[in-house]
Each structure stands twice: as structure tokens, then as C-alpha cells.
């Protein structure tokens, strides 16, 4: 059985959400952020050298990267739920968005989050790049969700779980002011029973 090492207010909500969607059995071990630094506690570093969440452990496999963990769980799922059939156009949309969440969107998103927290003295070297990335990425997301209901087409998939958590961070830092398609999408997916269970773990 999978053991999920869960950190409060973190991307590990993605994994809880996926496991709840699939109705899988799992052990959940809670770890709490340091109340001063907001960083992960040492207990996560004892499990994986990166010391971040989410981490899953099953038999001799230990993984620490949310999109990889999602693939691992889906590989074991006999129903084929939440991931389109391989070699279809939907599969490649699924793959693109699953990787986009951490591969492309994470840098401008987390940079914007931290830029909002620090004392700043004028423009910094990365500012123009981050601004450009935010504009391009959110236009692409908004257009996609205007054309189809979910990231991989007409059906909800694990790519939606990956993207929703990133979009929630975007909302938290004020990036969803002019994005009606994204806002309507979030309302839709946040009504899912498994999502509601996952947020209650925090
Ligand atoms: N790309 C990684 C990011 C993992 C990550 O940065 N996790 C954060 C929580 S959302 C964390 O553990 N931060 C605490 C720390 O770095 O001390 C993933 O998607 O799993």
C-alpha cells in the first residue's frame, strides 16, 4: 500500500485528491511546516534527500515529484481512469498540461509569490521575463479553457488535478482578475467530492 507523506498547505494535496478520486487505500503521514520559516520539517528529509512534499513510499520505491507520483499511481490503476488512452490527441494534451504545471508555470508563479513578499528596490533582472511568462501562460490557459471543459478535452483527468493546485496559487496572488474561463473552471472542479475530501486533510 502507498504511504503518502503529506505537508500542510502544499502540492501534496494533488496526491490526496488523486487517491480519493480513484477510491484507493493509502496511509497518510502528516508533516507540519515550521511555524517560523514555513519550510518543511526535517522529518521529510529523513525520507527523501530533497526534503519536500509530496513524497510517496511503496515497497522499495520512494518518489518526490508530484507529476511523477501521479503517473506512478495511474500506472497501477487497472480501470485506466483519469488518464486518456495512450497515443490519442487527448493523451498528449494530458501530458502537456501535467508537465506544464511544474515545468513552465511553477517558476513565474512562485517567483511572483515571493516578489510580493520581499522589500523591493526597483526592477530586478528577472522581472521582465517573469511578467512575459505570466502573460503568455495565462493567455494560453484561458484560451484552452474557453475552448474545452477540461485540460485534456471533454473529460476530467489527473492533468486537471495538477493544474488546479497551480491555479489556486495564481488566484491567491491575484493573477486571476481577468480570467473568466479559469474562474468558471475552478468553480466546477472544486465541487468534486474527492477535491473536498482532499482539502479537508489540510
Ligand atoms: N516540483 C515539486 C515541488 C515540490 C515542492 O516544492 N514542495 C513544497 C510544498 S508545495 C515543499 O515541500 N516546500 C517546503 C520546503 O521546501 O521546505 C513537485 O511538484 O512535487
Q: What is the pLDDT of residues 58-78, one digit of tens each?
A: 999 999 999 999 999 999 999
Average pLDDT of the chain, as a whole number = 95
CA distances from 44 to 5, 9, 62, 106, 157 (A): 8, 15, 12, 21, 28
Cβ within 8 Å of residue 107, ≥6 positions away = 130, 133
Task: Note if the bond before 54 is cis, omega within 30 degrees.
Answer: yes
Interval between CA 55 and ligand 1 midpoint (Å): 10
Q: What is the pLDDT of residues 108-154, one digit of tens each?
A: 999 999 888 777 777 777 889 999 999 999 999 999 999 999 999 99
**pLDDT for residue 163:** 98
User: Is 75 exposed, middle or buried, given 0-12, 13-18 or 19+ CB atoms closer than 10 A?
Assistant: exposed
Task: Decide whether any atom of ligand 1 lies within 6 Å of the 102 Cβ.
Answer: yes
**pLDDT for residue 125:** 77
CB–CB of 38/117 below 8 Å?
Answer: no
Share of the chain above pLDDT 90, in %: 91
Interval between CA 103 and ligand 1 midpoint (Å): 13
Q: Dihedral (C-alpha) 98, 195, 190, 78: value to the nearest 10 degrees?
A: 50
Least reliable range by pLDDT among 5-9, 19-23, 55-59, 198-202: 198-202
Task: Decide whether any atom of ligand 1 lies within 6 Å of the 14 Cβ.
Answer: no
What nine digits make up the cell of 55?
A: 513524497
pLDDT band at 102 (very low <50, low <70, confident <90, very high): very high
Atom of ligand 1 nearest to the CA of 37: 17
**pLDDT for residue 117:** 78
**pLDDT for residue 201:** 80
Domains and CATH numbers, the chain: 2-81 (3.40.30.10), 89-192 (1.20.1050.10)
* Helix, strand or coil, per DSSP, at residue 27: strand
Task: Decide whether any atom of ligand 1 lies within 6 Å of the 101 Cβ.
Answer: no
pLDDT band at 202 (very low <50, low <70, confident <90, very high): confident
d(CA 82, CA 96): 15
Q: What is the pLDDT of residues 157-180, one digit of tens each?
A: 999 999 999 999 999 999 999 999
Please tell me whether the overall predicted TM-score, pTM, comes out greater than 0.85 for this model: yes
Amino acid at each position: 500500500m502507498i504511504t503518502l507523506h503529506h505537508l500542510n498547505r502544499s502540492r501534496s494535496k494533488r496526491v490526496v485528491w488523486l487517491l480519493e478520486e480513484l477510491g484507493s487505500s493509502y496511509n497518510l503521514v502528516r508533516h507540519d511546516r515550521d511555524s517560523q520559516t514555513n519550510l518543511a520539517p526535517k522529518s521529510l528529509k529523513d525520507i527523501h534527500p530533497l526534503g519536500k512534499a509530496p513524497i510517496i513510499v511503496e515497497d522499495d520505491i520512494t518518489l518526490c515529484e508530484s507529476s511523477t507520483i501521479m503517473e506512478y499511481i495511474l500506472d497501477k490503476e487497472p480501470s485506466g481512469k483519469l488518464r486518456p488512452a495512450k497515443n490519442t490527441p487527448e493523451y498528449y494534451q494530458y501530458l502537456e498540461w501535467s508537465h506544464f504545471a511544474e515545468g513552465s508555470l511553477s517558476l513565474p508563479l512562485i517567483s511572483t509569490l515571493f516578489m510580493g513578499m520581499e522589500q523591493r528596490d526597483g526592477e530586478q533582472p528577472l522581472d521582465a521575463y517573469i511578467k512575459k511568462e505570466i502573460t503568455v501562460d495565462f493567455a494560453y490557459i484561458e484560451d484552452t479553457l474557453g475552448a474545452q471543459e477540461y485540460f485534456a478535452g471533454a473529460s476530467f483527468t489527473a492533468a486537471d488535478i495538477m493544474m488546479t493546485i497551480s491555479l489556486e496559487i495564481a488566484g491567491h496572488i491575484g493573477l486571476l482578475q481577468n480570467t473568466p474561463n479559469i474562474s468558471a473552471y475552478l468553480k466546477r472542479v472544486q465541487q468534486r467530492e474527492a477535491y473536498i475530501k482532499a482539502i479537508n486533510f489540510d
